[in-house]
Amino acid sequence: MTPTRYTPAAITFHWIVAALILFNLCFGLYTVGLPLSPQKLRFFSFHKWIGITIFVLASARLLWRLFHPAPALPAAMKPWEAMAAHVSHVLLYILFFAAPLTGWLFSSASGFQTVYLGVLPIPDLLQKNKELADVLRALHRWINYSMAAVIVVHAAAALKHHFIDRDDVLVRMLPLSRTP
């Protein structure tokens, strides 16, 4: 039997990761624009901690998904729509991992070790290297711009499903909603 709803665990993962990602996108963008100061460095540390948290939660979510598959897409969807839905979800997962990984490598290449919550040092894979750091900075930036773009498409698609196609795609991912 295929499930018609996401599991409560999947719903919890979805909304916590969504909130952390939205916050960290804005927070990162804001911190980049600050003039150099001790506060800016502290903010970057927070930014990295949240990024690591997202990485861990997204990994757990993916593991959970292996054993609790997502409910099937509505049968009324055209093949290209179903394909677009799958591609955008795969893309989102790739970006969830690519964003923190490039952030971590960029941080190492810039000579800043990441210490999770100020207590757990994350090993540096890369030595300090100015040229590499510049490449990784650009990569980290564009990966996050791409993620923001896919998130906009994701949210717009959810609203289209709910209000135009009038199916249950949005509701089955909402917390606290009664199931028929």
Residues forming beta bridges with residue 116, ordered by sequence position:
120
Q: Report helix angle 130-160 to 8-32, nearest 10.
A: 130
Residue number with CB closer to other proteins (123 or 180): 180
| Residue 111 per-residue DSSP state | T
Residue 110 CB, nearest distance to other proteins (Å)? 24
Q: Residue 74 in contact with residue 169, Cβ under 8 Å?
A: yes
User: If residue 102 lies in a helix (H) or strand (E), which one and from where to where?
Assistant: helix 79-109
User: If residue 120 lies in a helix (H) or strand (E), which one and from where to where?
Assistant: strand 120-121
Residue number with CB closer to other proteins (124 or 165): 165
Residue number with CB closer to other proteins (94 or 158): 158
Residue number with CB closer to other proteins (66 or 164): 164
Residues that bind other proteins (CB under 8 A): 26, 29-30, 33-34, 159, 162-164, 166, 171, 174, 177
CA dist list (Å): 55 to 51, 60, 62, 71, 101: 6, 9, 11, 24, 8
Q: Residue 115 in contact with residue 121, Cβ under 8 Å?
A: yes
Residue 164 CB, nearest distance to other proteins (Å)? 5
Residue number with CB closer to other proteins (119 or 164): 164
Residue 92 CB, nearest distance to other proteins (Å)? 20
Residue 174 CB, nearest distance to other proteins (Å)? 8
Residue 82 CB, nearest distance to other proteins (Å)? 21
Q: Dihedrals φ, ψ of 114, to 5°?
A: -90, 125
